[in-house]
Structure 1
Amino acid sequence: MVLQTRTAPMLPQHPPKEDPSSKSAVALQSWWRGVLIRRTVHQATLCVLVIQKWWRRASFWRQEERRVRALALYVRPIRATVLLQSLVRMWHARMQYKKYQKAVLVIQNKWRQHICQRESVFAGNGLADEGVDVNIEIIVG
């Protein structure tokens, strides 16, 4: 057999009246926790900024090193090409100079031959006979 007991219906309970000093304590505690959280967040922000600054600097230098290496790889063949071109131009200029030098020698030789032939023609006319009389004395001591 089950005994049935009747319980009294539950009456709504009213919250206990709060003490005004407890409200002040809660507000003070809430303010202090806020101050501590803001300090922590501020400190974490400063740490994050230092890390970001270091990372950006490291990334910049790494990128700069890559850029310099790529530029060196690009410049090396260009320099070699320019050097080769200058050597070919120098060789060509030297060959041209030698060609002109040979031409000058040919012209000079032909001119000298012409002068000699002209003088020999004049010498055949007797002009050389009336030339300067050269007397050489050798004194042996």
Structure 2
Amino acid sequence: MGLRFCTHGNLIVLVIEDVEERTEWKKTEKQKLKKTFKKQTKAATEIQAWWRGTLVRRTLLHAALRACIIQRWWRLTLDSLLQKKRRQALVTYANTVRAVVKIQSLVRMWRIHWRYRQVLNAIYVIQCHWQCHNCHTCALLRGHCVVTATHLQFHIEIINP
């Protein structure tokens, strides 16, 4: 049993308590405090876990977005490089075709010029022989020439009046 005095101004209050009851009450209070402390600790742990998870998810989301931006930029860069290569290949092909056509044109022109020179030389030979002939006033020459891709044809007629 315990005796305790409390003063409130001029009033003295005498409190008589049972020590066992008081220790029992302290034990229950301690248990209640432990339970509330455990509940608060558990609640605080859950809040911290939620917050850390939120931070981790946010960090991962930012990392994923950055990776997506980098990938998009890289794909655009690769696409522009591919377009440049295609354009360069097309220009090279066009230049090659233009050069081939030009060479073919020059070769064809040279071949036609060569055939034309052959015809002129043949005509000069015939004229020279005809002029040296005794009776050049006795006959007339009528000629016709056909130039094809593979050969040269002459048709010459001597007409006596």
Question: TM-score with structure 2 length normalisation?
Answer: 0.48
- 2:100 corresponds to: 100
Which amino acid is 1:51 matched to?
W
Offset at residue 78 of structure 1 (A): 4.1
**SS, match of residue 115 in structure 1:** coil
**Number of residue pairs aligned between Structure 1 and Structure 2:** 104
Matches within 5 A, 1:47-66: 47-66=47-66
Question: What is the alpha-carbon distance in structure 2 between the residues aligned to residue 93 and residue 83 of structure 1?
Answer: 15
In structure 2, runs of 5+ residues without a counterpart are: 1-17, 113-146, 157-161
Offset at residue 104 of structure 1 (A): 5.2
- 1:139 corresponds to: none
**Relative to total residues, which structure has the larger strand share, 1 or 2?**
2
- 1:115 corresponds to: 150
Matches within 5 A, 1:122-141: none
Which amino acid is 1:84 matched to?
K
Matches within 5 A, 1:1-141: 19-103=19-103, 113-117=148-152, 120=153
Q: CA RMSD in A?
A: 3.3
Question: What is the alpha-carbon distance in structure 2 between the residues aligned to residue 38 and residue 113 of structure 1?
Answer: 111
Identity, % of aligned pairs?
5
Which amino acid is 2:51 matched to?
I
- 2:9 corresponds to: none
